[in-house]
Structure 1
């Protein structure tokens, strides 16, 4: 793997809020910025936040984890998961007290094989990407199973904005007829392909991203896709 980091900003005024009759590839509105490590500046937290506070999370037995692969602070709670522990999405309140665990593992029709990424919706639902099963499972804010969507492709991360889905696409074990060799796919509300962005480099063998929670984030008028491999 080569030493550089790529930050990609997509200006999606038209892509997010309009529909296309055919798949759009490498739209002109995309901007690919490559920052060599040698030129990168130190990240200083105080440049981005005006106030810091710390919350000690509960050591309740059901809320224990070995590492936090992703953490979301939303709706007055902290949501996190440990990819290696298969402990589900752990929910803590604003004081750090353990609230519940979302997601059950097993072979049943409503169970998970693993958690690859997750998001918390505006209504409080928790959406979990299970890469081995190629599914997104939705749970209510109370942790109850609601539904499961089967994907026709292999994704390592995802996010959602209004009626669009955004997926970081894996290079290998992929639906090549649908996605060819692209890193980022945008899909409509029915998970039908809308547009593709950014080819994998042909001279890089170890460029796949099987698992990278948090690689995608969405704002009001933009999508940020950040990855450390070509």
Structure 2
């Protein structure tokens, strides 16, 4: 038995969500996130990939039905594909800033409802869990400032869900802060994947305090893990 807040000697981390974790197709011969996570975890630990490239928030329910019986930790990175589905709003006409904000608010409400339902399903497993923010796009991209600003309305939903449900939060916006962390504007490179894997391993090994949200966002937290 593991006492709350103390590290486990073994465990089984399951990755849920989309291509942020299922990034093998984008890194060529370099290691993908699940491979890197298995390297970061200590002996006796396992990691399983249930995340699937292209999946959206509603697909996490299907992934949860596939959980291994011995799963001990869940980490979810999803919502980016849902956000892409709203990309056309950036081209919508708006009479003034207030009108534009009202359009964004309606989109945020829609996203928040879906994300909260997904996060509740994850939390209902009773397993120590974490969700990930949607990271920005490479800063050298032509639409970087627009995308970063638009994603803020979705990331607000993610952070609110994490804090309201008492599950942990891995902030990929701060972890993947260099252009080399991206294989393309959407998926992580092997370098970015290494940062993500170390953050996940840190979350899993630091012990779990029920109802408390731990935030992992600082690169210095990853050193030596």
Q: Which band: TM-score by shorter chain?
A: under 0.3
Instruction: Return the structure number with greater relative CO, CA threshold 8 A, min gap 6.
Output: 2
Calculate the TM-score normalised by the size of structure 2.
0.26
Q: More strand per residue: 1 or 2? A: 1
Calculate the TM-score normalised by the size of structure 1.
0.25
Higher-Rg structure is 1
Q: More helix per residue: 1 or 2? A: 2
